[in-house]
Structure 1
């Protein structure tokens, strides 16, 4: 029994005649008669009583008509439901990111992406580089944005150019502080030696880098606060507690005009922002498209 046979049977039952059903279906009569005969033989029962003028449906035929109508209606409903699900398709891309990227770079990129993939939703987890990498390792995020350095052994990595920087220039460290913390006014670059005995505030992951660079200059830095968030460093600087040491692309999040930002000359490390993902995890086509956009 095929769906086509059921459609033919229903048309014959409706028209009461093989000839008129064939005309309605726009097919010749002999093949239609053969299909009806094959259906009756498969079911082992007559579906119509035949006389010279018309076909009268049998009790078996009435049962088949009821079931065939239900089957075809369900088939049509299923097709509509599948189309509806397809049109309402939703994909979620889970992103773990450091705060500076989430606040500055991501909104514009996600806006661009959503014009081409309107059915994609995003879940964003904000944290430190180590918590971002942990989210990727544990499968809680598909993509991550982190700042160098980090252990790349388990991850695929693509460096991301930050729009806050001039073309082809990597990130660099700056000092952010109230003007009275500086020995000389202005916004020119500052050396590490000028920070000797100054109260410094820095992110925990940059502490060893700062200490090592200062010791090479013959002194130990006076670090009054280590924290896990760049925003905390900026808050301490705004409160006039000390000089914050941070990457430039994080410092531009500052909106306090009373703070002076000066490039730090002696620390040569350039903490690039990188897009990373777990190389053992299979990404959706939409997540791969987001990587390509970046």
Structure 2
């Protein structure tokens, strides 16, 4: 697969029409259509339902969109870093869990940008499970993770400090005014918990509970939407 053709495919996926994509790419519509058909032939699958207006993607096309975005992002980042010859410059991509402990990284980023203003930071928030996949695929330069049990496989630094675990509850909940929530109280109400396996391990270690003892109604990877 050529990156050029993947860019063509993404343009069609984003605009919804061959005409708009061709205009955006500054190519003729027949040439664009021919390139997409060659891509489908190469992959052996149909990517676009052309009879729909605007065009729609097949399940295979939907899958390729995400993969193409990742491949092009890595390629663009590589080109940017290679072309930065006059000074220390380029793009550093950091994946991070959502935690106040990220302040340690913020301080390092602040110093880096003062010393090397041509360096750009791309920050991606997510769960450790998702971000570790990105790190292994070369999409991240650094991973800031909590409860990370696979350190032996990587170069790493331990940061000082610790997160405090807690429970978000509605202000009108019967337990809202309690100074602390016990393990026994947690088993009496429906809960949403992190889907990371390390969180389940910590339930056993810190609370003496197994996930099977909880009335779990939802699992999430980031706390923001789950809290709402």
TM-score, reference length from structure 2: 0.51
Query: Cα distance, 1:86 vs. partner?
Result: 2.1
Q: Is 1:195 the equivalent of 2:186? A: yes
Where relative contact order (Cα < 8 A, 6+ residues apart) is larger, the structure is: 1
Contact 2:191–2:215, Cα closer than 8 Å, also in 1: yes
Q: Which protein is bigger by CA-based radius of gyration?
A: 1
Tell me, which stretches of 5 or more residues in structure 1 are unaligned?
Answer: 1-83, 162-168, 236-294
Q: Is 1:178 the equivalent of 2:137? A: no
Query: Cα distance, 1:209 vs. partner?
Result: 4.1
CA distance in 1, matches of 2:183, 2:177: 16
Q: Is 1:223 the equivalent of 2:216? A: yes
TM-score, reference length from structure 1: 0.41
CA displacement 1:171-222 (0-9 Å, x = unmatched) = 2310111133244724x222111222211111111245437866659x8111
Contact 1:102–1:126, Cα closer than 8 Å, also in 2: no
1:154 alignment partner in structure 2 = 153
Q: Is 1:139 the equivalent of 2:131? A: no
Counterparts in 2 of 1:144 and 1:212: CA distance versus 1, 3 Å: closer
Contact 2:193–2:218, Cα closer than 8 Å, also in 1: yes
CA displacement 1:19-55 (0-9 Å, x = unmatched) = xxxxxxxxxxxxxxxxxxxxxxxxxxxxxxxxxxxxx
CA distance in 2, matches of 1:100, 1:117: 26
CA distance in 2, matches of 1:127, 1:207: 18
Superposition map of 1:24-35 within 5 A: none
1:204 alignment partner in structure 2 = 195
Contact 2:95–2:143, Cα closer than 8 Å, also in 1: yes
1:86 alignment partner in structure 2 = 86
CA distance in 1, matches of 2:96, 2:90: 19
Query: Cα distance, 1:129 vs. partner?
Result: 0.4
CA distance in 2, matches of 1:155, 1:149: 11
- Secondary structure at the residue paired with 1:122? strand
Contact 1:200–1:225, Cα closer than 8 Å, also in 2: yes
Query: Cα distance, 1:102 vs. partner?
Result: 9.8
Contact 2:104–2:159, Cα closer than 8 Å, also in 1: no
1:128 alignment partner in structure 2 = 127
Contact 1:114–1:120, Cα closer than 8 Å, also in 2: yes
Superposition map of 1:11-160 within 5 A: 86=86, 89-100=88-99, 106-160=105-159
CA distance in 1, matches of 2:100, 2:206: 26
Query: Cα distance, 1:147 vs. partner?
Result: 1.2
CA distance in 2, matches of 1:102, 1:91: 25
